[in-house]
Structure 1
Amino acid sequence: MASPKITLYTNPNCPWAQRAHITLKELNLPYEQVFIDIEKPREEWYLAINPKGQVPTLSYNGTVITESGIVAQFLADAHPHPLNETGTETQTRAGLLPPSNSFEGAIQRARIAFFVDAWVSKVYPVLTGVILGGESHGASTEGLVGVIEKEIEPLLLVSAASGDADSFFGDSETLTLAEVLTGPFLLWIFTLLKPEYGALSTELISVLRERVPRFASWASRVVAHDSVRHVLDEEWVGNNLKARWEGAVAKKEGESKEKEDE
């Protein structure tokens, strides 16, 4: 099967756009990349392609697809098995999503969708709140571990029927769409707990291992996977998010001092 003509309009430092990069890497699909500067107003030519001006936007044989989760799922559905270097399908590995034409496949797809929704609606707001709210290490550790303990750890327990500690979501031996769609934000967490960035406590990983061991093990495997990690500019992400967190901390301290002086 000939490889499709793929153009990805993207900013690789955007975690939502990174979802598309991870998918394309894991499926071994060649593509052309067009950089979009998301710090500036979008140019008219790009708004003609994607009126919202967001990234990523995928052009697949001339058909335009937008929204990161939809882009990733489309690619997973269009390429149910990874392609090798010659562009032929291989059955030696599973795809990112199981087919939906069986009960088991439909259930697994539903579980992946529910898992990703729990992450985006429950965990992501806490993570961004830590950064933009300048949360202390103690508060951020408890906030993140608490929401993961309540919303994510039970879903990983349910998804792993065999109890294999070395698998990905649902006992998969390879990445699934669950890892693709959460991976960029897991990279944030594992970057920000490093001492040189310090927006999260260095003790966070040990607390995760103690209270949510399946999540800690799973997340460590995800961020170490080449398809996920290849998209990370750690220095840019770490310094950018550190600056936002430090700015929020300084703002809180300034507001607190103002109240004391009143």
Structure 2
Amino acid sequence: MAAPKIILYTNRNCPWAHRAHIALKELGLEYEEVIIDLDKPREPWYLQINPRGLVPALSYNGNIITESGIVAQFLADAHPSHLLPQSSPAENALYRARVAFFVDAFFSKVVPHFFASIRSATEEERDAAAEELAKAVVKEIEPLLEDGKGPFFGGSDRLTLAEVQSGSFLLRILSFSKPEHGLVSAKLPALLEQAPKFKRWAEATVQQESVNFIYNEKAVADRMRAKFAPKKP
């Protein structure tokens, strides 16, 4: 079977586009990378590819797929691997449902507090956002992680689609609490000690080459600050 012709329209500073890079790297797929400047109005040619103007967009043998979660899911489905089993038999479908629930819980219950932290105008607001983030992790994510097996979702010793979908945000959550960034409360690492399974999972995930190989921490932090942080009067 011939290798697919893949073009990834992306911006490496975008956490959503980052998901596609993780999937492609983990699957060992070759691709052409086209960088989209997110600081300028989209060029007409790109709006023909993705009328929403967002990244990522994926051209797969000429077929266009957009929206980061759909792109990652498509790649995992099109190239069965350790990331995700095929949809049948029923136990595979059940596992896939659990992955989908886990990813939904992470993005609906945890990530909003991360963005609240970035948008905070004061240290007190950032501390409060970190406390709420940690509470959400303890309540929503910690019970869904295995203990005493591999560090990844379901006790896997290799990345799964759960890490593909969440890894770019884990990088930012864990690194933005450094004093030089000031985007997330410096108290967050201590707060996350309440969730040892999450801490193990997150730290193992961000150490994977497929997760961190495009990550320029300073450039990403600077962009997030410019985009989201409140402007001083």
Task: Report TM bin, short chain.
Answer: over 0.9
Are the counterparts in 1 of residues 11 and 36 from structure 2 also a CA contact under 8 Å?
Answer: yes
For 1:151, the equivalent position in structure 2 comes to: 140
Which of 224, 235, 239 aligns to 2:207? It is: 224
1:1-262 maps to which residues of 2 (within 5 A)?
1-81=1-81, 95-134=82-121, 136=123, 137-156=126-145, 160=146, 163-209=147-193, 211-243=194-226, 247-248=229-230, 251=232
| CA drift at 1:6 | 0.3
Q: Is the 8 A contact 1:165 1:217 kept in 2?
A: no
**In the alignment, residue 48 of structure 1 is paired with which amino acid?**
Q
Task: For residues 193-218 of structure 1, give each alpha carbon's deviation from its aligned partner in whole angstroms, at most 9, with x where no partner exists.
Answer: 11221222333222212x11110110
Structure 2: distance between partners of 1:151 and 1:207:
15
In structure 1, the gaps of 5 or more residues are: 82-94, 255-262
The alpha-carbon deviation at position 25 of structure 1 amounts to 0.4
**Identical aligned residues as a percent:** 54
Matched positions, count: 231
Residue 41 (structure 1) shift: 1.2
**Partner SS for 2:45:** helix
Distance 2:158 2:215 in 1: 20
CA contact (8 A) 1:131 1:244 kept: no
Larger radius of gyration: 1
- Give the 3-state SS of the residue equivalent to 1:202 in structure 2: coil
Q: Find runs of 4+ consecutive structure 1 residues off by over 4 angstroms.
A: 242-245
TM-score, normalisation: structure 2: 0.93
Question: Which consecutive unaligned segments of at least 5 residues does structure 2 have?
Answer: none
> Helix, strand or coil for the counterpart of 1:65?
strand
Per-residue deviation at 1:4? 0.8
